[in-house]
Amino acid sequence: MYKVLIADPISNEGLELLKNNPKLEVIEKTSITPEELTAEIGEYHALVVRSRTKVTADQIAKANQMKLIVRGGVGTDNIDKKAAAEKGIKVMNTPKASSISVAELVLGMMLSGVRNLTDATQSMKSGKWEKKAFKGKELYGKTLGILGVGNIGKEIANRSIAFGMKVLAFDPYAKEAPAGIEMVDLNKVLQESDIISVNCPKTEETKNIINKGNINQLKKGVGIINCSRGGIIEESALIEALDQDHVSFIGLDVYEKEPPENTHPIAQKAHVTLTPHIGAQTVEGQNRVSAEVAEVINTFFNQM
């Protein structure tokens, strides 16, 4: 029997699928500390993590029975993949399961930005009626620039096209242009987009892909949204551009440091929508993630 450690919570839909597999013993320790994981990891054949748990090279060195690590989510940046590969451990994720959830959050941030929903809400809550102060803009006819057209980028594009938007995208790894999307270089996305959505993993190539050196290339009045990973946009440059009215609104679900400091300057700014890394946090999305985690593990061990 193979022992599977659930180190971060997944929904019951996937848990039941795993527990019904006679080849597996499922152990739930969703509050396990890094020290405890280091001490216990050698007991398990598979490990399930979400965003909370980081799987380090030191831990993997002790994972002498481990065959599979599954990240319930889009990225695998919280797992030392090089160490896992050297140990012969397969690393997998669930790239499609939460795509719709994240895409809908991006659309929500787009609408919040162009219609001043965050600031108008705060104004109303303070007892004001500032009808003329919150004249917005339409998404219709605007150009959306997407950095990264994986599963999430495609879902965002499809919904944006339904709003009557033109979609430009930069992704050097895209094998073909998805329907309705014009593939262009990075400079064209920066220079011609009315709104830019970042939807790529954080790598050495994408770190600070929008930064102090190129942010002036952006179209004046552009809106910037990042619901992928913190550190892909240089936050200090983004705040400066907002202060200078070069950027008209910002939507962030991810940050260079998570959680950000209570005194983070962006929290005090107008024209900003902030959420605490909740892109995949929908009931439907979490159920799909859990079910896909179970499918990955069951398929892997049923073949052994």
Exactly one of 36, 86, 258, 284 is catalytic; name it. 258
Q: How is 123-140 classified by DSSP, letter by letter?
A: HHHTT---GGGG----ST
Rounded Cα gap, residues 46 and 239, in angstroms: 42
**Catalytic residue check, 45:** no
Closest CA to 256 of 193, 211, 294: 211
Exactly one of 71, 229, 235, 288 is catalytic; name it. 229
Rg (CA), the chain: 21
What six digits make up the tokens of 108? 């929500």
List of E strands, 115-221 = 143-147, 166-170, 181-183, 195-198
**Catalytic residue check, 258:** yes
Exactly one of 13, 40, 277, 295 is catalytic; name it. 277
What six digits make up the tokens of 246? 């070069």
Query: Rounded to a whole number, what is the distance in angstroms from the first to the last CA of the chain?
Result: 11
Q: How many CA atoms lie within 13 A of 63 on its CB side?
A: 30
Element (H, E) at 191: helix 186-192
**DSSP-assigned letter for residue 49:** E
**Catalytic residue check, 71:** no
Active-site residue list: 229, 258, 277
